[in-house]
C-alpha cells in the first residue's frame, strides 16, 4: 500500500470511527471525498498549520458541512491544533469538533457551514475580498495572491441560493474561486434521480464558469490533481470540477446507498469496510506513524510558505512604504483619530430627513477615512442610497472599486458579505429593503453565529413606505430579527440618531449590526430642548424627561414613532399627566447596559408604560411589563400613502393620548 493510499484510508477510518463513537453523523461523504481532500491539502492548498490565520493562505470551504469529519481528520493529520482526543469527542459537549464546521471554534475552519448552499455563497465573498485587495495593493510583489477552494454537494447545488452564487461569481469573473462538486447521486431520501437530474456542467458553463467533468474518477489522484492545476490556469473565470464519487466507498453493504449518508455504519459494517481497505479490522482511531510523519510534513512546508511571504512583505514595505502602511490599516481596521469628524450635526432648520438619506450622508462623509469599507445593494441603490460616490462599481478589471452591484440576489449578497468579513482586510455592508431580510435571513443568521461585524443597511422599515402595500411593508420583521442572538437591530428616530447608529455599527467588531431606516422624512429633534443623540449608543435613553420628580407614565418608541410620543408628551402634560419620553432604538444594546442604567431609564416604580412601534408588538412585554400596553400592528399592511396608513393603524398623537389615559 502506498503512503498516499494509506493516508487516504486513515482519513476514511477516522471518519467512520468518530461517527460510530458519537452515534451520530455522516460517514459516507468523508469516505468518498478522502482522495480529493488528501490531494488538495497535500499538493495544492497553501496554508500553515501552525498559523491558521496566516493572511496569504488559501481558503477552504466545506460547503457540504455535514461531511465535517473529512475536514477534522485532514486538519488533525496535517498538523493543526486538533488532537486525536478532539476527533474522539466529535459532536460532544464543549468539543472543538462540532457536527458542522464552526468558524472561531476549530483551527483551520474558515467559515461556519451546514445549511446547504451557504458555504459556496460565502466563498464567493472570500474570492471577492482577495480580488479587491490584490487590485488595490499588488505591485511587482504580489502580496495578496491566494485561492478559495470549495467542496460542494448535490444538496448545495439543489438549493436555489447556489444559483445566485454561480451567477454572481461568473459575472464577476472570479478566477481564484475553485469548486469541486461531489456528485455521489445520493441524498437522504434515496437516489438523486427521484428529484434531480440537472446537467451541472451546462448549468455552470451558462454562468460563465470554467468546467471540467472528471466522471467516475473519485479515487484517481492524478486526474484530481490535474483538474486543480488546470483550474488555476484559468484566471478570468471561476472553476467547477465535477467528480463522481461513491458515498461510503468500500462499505460492502452500504456503499452508494442513503444508509451511508446520515448515520453510523455500525460496528460490523465498519469491520468489513476496514477489511476491504486492508486495515486492522478491530482498530479504532488508528493513525499509523508513517501517515502521521507524511502528512505532518505540511507543517514545515507551511512554515516555509509563510516565511517566503514575509520576505516578500519586507521587500514590498521597503519599496512601497506608504502603501504598506495602508495595507496594515486594511488588515487592522483600526479607526483613525477623527474618522467621523466630517459627519454633520443636523438641526431642525435643516428640515425633515429620511433616515436612509442620513445613512447616505454618513457613508460618504466617512468613506475617505475608512477605505476598507466596501459594500452594495441588491439592485436597490437608488432607494437604499448606499453608493460610495468617490468610487465606481466592483467588476471585472475594476476590482479595486468599492461599490458592489449584487443584482437581485439578496441570498448571496448577505452570504458574500460574511465571506468578505471572514476573509479579512475589508469591512462589508449590505443593503436592501427591510422586508427582503426574508431572503437574506439564513446568511444573516450565520453571520450572527460567527459574530461577524457585517453592517446591514435595511431601508423602507415599516408601513411608512406607503403605496407599495402589503407585500413590501414589514410587520413581523423587527420582532423576528430581535429574536436572533448577537444581532444589534438599531432603528433610529431622527437624523442625528441615524448618524450615531452608523457610528455604533462601524465601531462594533464582535457581531453584526442592522440599521433599520425610513423611506419617509422625519422631523429633526431640537437637541437644545431634548437629550443629545449620543444616548443611542446605550440602546435607549430619556429623550425628554418628565416634569418634576417622578413620571406618571413612560412613553417608549423606536424610529418614526418617537416624534409622535414626543408630541403626545406635551399634550398629556396639559391634561395633568406627567410623561417621560424614551427613545429605544436598540433593545440588544440596551440589554448590555448595567442594570443601574436600565433602571434609570425605565424606573421599576413606574409600571404605567406605553410602547409605540409600527410593527408586531411581540417582545415589548419585556419593557412595558404586565400593566403596560403596546400600540403595534398584528395584521398585514395596506396600499396607501404613509400618512393615511399611520392614521388608519392608530399611529397618531390622539390615539397615543387615549391609550395613555386608559392606563
Q: Does residue 145 contact residue 314 with C-beta atoms inside 8 Å?
A: no
Indicate the pLDDT class of residue 271, thresholds 50, 70 and 90.
very high
Q: 254 pLDDT exceeds 90?
A: yes
Is residue 528 included in any domain, yes or no? no
Is residue 577 included in any domain, yes or no? yes
Is residue 530 included in any domain, yes or no? no
Q: 563 pLDDT exceeds 90?
A: yes
Please check whether residues 251 and 113 belong to one and the same domain: yes
Q: Does residue 174 contact residue 150 with C-beta atoms inside 8 Å?
A: no
Question: Helix, strand, or coil here: 644?
Answer: helix
Percent of the chain with pLDDT over 90: 99
Residue holding cell 470551504? 61
User: What CATH number is associated with residue 654?
Assistant: 3.40.50.920
Please check whether residues 486 and 625 belong to one and the same domain: no
Cα(424)–Cα(446) distance, integer angstroms: 17
Which DSSP helix (H) or strand (E) runs through 134? Answer: helix 118-137
**pLDDT reported for residue 92:** 98
Which DSSP helix (H) or strand (E) runs through 243? Answer: strand 239-244
Q: 585 pLDDT exceeds 90?
A: yes
Cα(102)–Cα(62) distance, integer angstroms: 11
**pLDDT reported for residue 460:** 98
Please check whether residues 509 and 546 belong to one and the same domain: no
Closest of 138, 10, 123 to residue 65, by C-alpha: 123
Where a domain ends, among 469, 493, 522?
522
Is residue 325 included in any domain, yes or no? no
Please check whether residues 353 and 283 belong to one and the same domain: no
Please check whether residues 513 and 547 belong to one and the same domain: no
Indicate the pLDDT class of residue 548, thresholds 50, 70 and 90.
confident
Question: b or e along 329-353 (b: 16 or more beta carbons within 10 Å of the residue's beta carbon)?
Answer: bbeebeeeeebbeebeebeeeeeeb
Q: Does residue 265 contact residue 20 with C-beta atoms inside 8 Å?
A: yes
Domain that holds residue 640: 538-662
Please check whether residues 434 and 552 belong to one and the same domain: no
Cα(583)–Cα(306) distance, integer angstroms: 51
Q: Where are the alpha helices (DSSP H) in 79-111?
A: 84-88
Cα(643)–Cα(464) distance, integer angstroms: 8
Instruction: Give residue-wise pLDDT tens across range 8-63.
Output: 999 999 999 999 999 999 999 999 999 999 999 999 999 999 999 999 999 999 99
pTM: 0.98
| Structural domain count, the chain | 3
Is residue 320 included in any domain, yes or no? no
Please check whether residues 388 and 474 belong to one and the same domain: yes
Question: Helix, strand, or coil here: 103?
Answer: coil
Cα(477)–Cα(614) distance, integer angstroms: 11
Active site residue 85: no
Is residue 323 included in any domain, yes or no? no
Instruction: Give residue-wise pLDDT tens across range 183-200.
Output: 999 999 999 999 999 999
Instruction: Give residue-wise pLDDT tens across range 314-325.
Output: 999 999 999 999
Cα(297)–Cα(312) distance, integer angstroms: 23
Please check whether residues 404 and 495 belong to one and the same domain: yes
**pLDDT reported for residue 237:** 98
Q: What are phi and psi of 523, to 5 degrees?
A: -60, 145
Please check whether residues 505 and 543 belong to one and the same domain: no
How many CB atoms are closer than 10 A to CB 368?
12
Q: 468 pLDDT exceeds 90?
A: yes
Indicate the pLDDT class of residue 575, thresholds 50, 70 and 90.
very high
**pLDDT reported for residue 449:** 98
Closest of 211, 197, 136 to residue 166, by C-alpha: 211
Indicate the pLDDT class of residue 611, thresholds 50, 70 and 90.
very high
Q: Which of 110, 164, 410, 613 is catalytic?
A: 410
Cα(613)–Cα(90) distance, integer angstroms: 45
Please check whether residues 175 and 279 belong to one and the same domain: yes
140: which residues sit within 8 A by CB, 6+ positions away? none
Please check whether residues 586 and 488 belong to one and the same domain: no
**pLDDT reported for residue 512:** 98
293: which residues sit within 8 A by CB, 6+ positions away? none
Closest of 155, 177, 153, 180 to residue 167, by C-alpha: 177
**pLDDT reported for residue 549:** 85
Q: 363 pLDDT exceeds 90?
A: yes
Q: Which residues pair with 583 in a beta bridge?
A: 541, 557
Please check whether residues 468 and 594 belong to one and the same domain: no
Where a domain ends, among 275, 302, 329?
302
User: What CATH number is associated with residue 197?
Assistant: 3.40.50.970
Mean pLDDT, the chain, whole residue set: 98
Q: What are phi and psi of 387, to 5 degrees?
A: -85, 130
Cα(584)–Cα(624) distance, integer angstroms: 12
**pLDDT reported for residue 281:** 97
Where a domain ends, among 472, 493, 522?
522
Instruction: Give residue-wise pLDDT tens across range 35-48.
Output: 999 999 999 999 99
Q: Does residue 168 contact residue 406 with C-beta atoms inside 8 Å?
A: yes
Q: What are phi and psi of 571, to 5 degrees?
A: -65, -40
Is residue 327 included in any domain, yes or no? no
Q: 459 pLDDT exceeds 90?
A: yes
Is residue 310 included in any domain, yes or no? no
Amino acid at each position: 500500500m502506498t503512503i498516499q493510499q494509506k493516508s487516504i484510508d486513515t482519513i476514511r477510518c477516522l471518519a467512520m470511527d468518530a461517527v460510530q463513537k458519537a452515534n451520530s453523523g455522516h460517514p459516507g461523504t468523508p469516505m468518498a471525498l478522502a482522495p480529493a481532500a488528501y490531494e488538495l491539502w497535500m499538493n495544492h492548498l497553501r496554508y500553515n498549520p501552525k498559523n491558521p490565520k496566516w493572511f496569504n493562505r488559501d481558503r477552504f470551504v466545506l460547503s457540504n458541512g455535514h461531511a465535517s469529519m473529512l475536514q477534522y481528520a485532514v486538519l488533525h493529520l496535517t498538523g493543526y491544533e486538533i488532537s486525536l482526543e478532539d476527533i474522539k469527542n466529535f459532536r460532544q459537549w464543549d468539543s472543538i469538533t462540532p457536527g458542522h464546521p464552526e468558524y472561531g471554534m476549530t483551527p483551520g475552519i474558515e467559515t461556519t457551514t451546514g445549511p446547504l448552499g451557504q458555504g459556496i455563497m460565502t466563498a464567493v465573498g472570500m474570492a471577492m475580498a482577495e480580488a479587491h485587495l490584490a487590485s488595490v495593493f499588488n505591485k511587482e510583489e504580489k502580496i495578496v495572491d491566494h485561492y478559495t477552494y470549495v467542496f460542494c454537494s448535490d444538496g448545495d447545488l439543489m438549493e436555489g441560493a447556489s444559483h445566485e452564487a454561480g451567477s454572481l461569481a461568473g459575472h464577476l469573473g472570479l478566477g481564484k474561486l475553485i469548486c469541486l462538486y461531489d456528485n455521489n447521486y445520493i441524498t437522504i431520501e434515496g437516489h438523486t434521480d427521484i428529484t434531480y437530474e440537472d446537467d451541472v456542467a451546462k448549468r455552470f458553463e451558462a454562468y460563465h464558469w470554467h468546467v471540467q467533468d472528471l466522471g467516475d474518477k473519485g479515487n484517481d489522484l492524478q486526474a484530481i490533481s490535474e483538474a486543480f492545476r488546470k483550474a488555476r490556469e484559468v484566471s478570468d473565470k471561476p472553476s467547477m470540477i465535477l467528480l463522481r464519487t461513491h458515498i461510503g466507498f468500500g462499505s460492502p453493504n452500504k456503499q452508494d446507498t442513503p444508509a451511508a449518508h446520515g448515520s453510523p455504519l455500525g460496528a460490523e459494517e465498519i469491520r468489513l469496510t476496514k477489511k476491504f481497505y486492508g486495515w486492522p479490522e478491530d482498530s479504532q482511531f488508528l493513525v499509523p506513524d508513517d501517515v502521521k510523519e507524511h502528512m505532518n510534513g505540511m507543517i514545515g512546508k507551511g512554515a516555509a510558505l509563510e516565511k517566503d511571504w514575509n520576505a516578500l512583505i519586507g521587500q514590498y514595505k521597503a519599496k512601497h512604504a506608504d502603501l504598506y502602511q495602508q495595507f496594515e490599516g486594511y488588515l487592522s481596521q483600526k479607526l483613525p483619530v477623527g474618522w467621523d469628524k466630517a459627519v454633520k450635526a443636523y438641526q431642525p432648520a435643516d428640515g425633515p430627513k429620511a433616515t436612509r438619506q442620513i445613512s447616505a450622508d454618513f457613508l460618504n462623509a466617512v468613506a475617505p477615512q475608512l477605505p476598507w469599507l466596501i459594500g452594495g445593494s441588491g439592485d436597490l441603490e437608488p432607494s437604499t442610497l448606499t453608493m460610495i460616490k468617490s468610487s465606481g462599481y466592483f467588476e471585472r478589471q475594476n476590482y479595486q472599486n468599492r461599490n458592489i452591484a449584487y443584482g437581485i440576489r439578496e441570498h448571496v449578497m448577505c452570504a458574500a458579505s460574511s465571506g468578505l468579513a471572514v476573509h479579512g482586510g475589508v469591512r462589508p455592508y449590505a443593503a436592501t429593503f427591510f422586508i427582503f431580510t426574508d431572503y437574506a435571513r439564513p446568511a444573516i443568521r450565520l453571520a450572527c453565529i460567527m459574530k461577524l461585524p457585517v453592517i446591514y443597511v435595511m431601508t423602507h422599515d415599516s408601513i411608512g413606505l406607503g403605496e407599495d402595500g402589503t407585500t413590501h411593508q414589514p410587520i413581523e420583521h423587527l420582532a423576528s430579527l430581535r429574536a436572533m442572538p448577537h444581532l444589534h437591530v438599531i432603528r433610529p428616530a431622527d437624523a442625528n440618531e441615524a448618524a450615531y447608529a452608523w457610528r455604533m455599527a462601524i465601531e462594533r467588531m464582535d457581531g453584526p449590526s442592522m440599521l433599520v431606516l425610513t423611506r419617509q422624512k422625519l422631523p429633526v429633534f431640537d437637541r437644545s430642548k431634548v437629550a443629545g443623540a449620543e444616548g443611542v449608543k446605550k440602546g435607549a435613553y430619556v429623550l425628554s424627561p418628565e416634569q418634576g420628580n417622578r413620571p406618571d407614565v413612560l412613553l417608549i418608541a423606536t424610529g418614526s414613532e418617537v416624534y409622535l410620543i414626543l408630541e403626545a408628551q406635551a399634550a398629556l402634560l396639559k391634561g395633568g399627566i406627567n410623561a417621560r419620553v424614551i427613545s429605544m432604538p436598540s433593545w440588544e444594546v440596551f440589554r448590555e447596559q448595567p442594570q443601574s442604567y436600565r433602571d434609570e431609564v425605565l424606573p421599576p416604580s413606574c409600571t404605567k408604560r406605553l410602547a409605540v412601534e409600527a410593527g408586531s408588538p411581540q417582545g415589548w412585554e419585556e419593557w412595558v411589563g404586565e400593566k403596560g400596553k403596546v400600540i403595534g400592528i398584528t395584521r398585514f399592511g395596506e396600499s396607501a400613502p404613509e400618512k393615511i396608513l399611520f392614521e388608519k393603524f392608530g399611529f397618531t398623537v390622539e390615539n397615543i393620548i387615549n391609550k395613555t389615559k386608559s392606563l
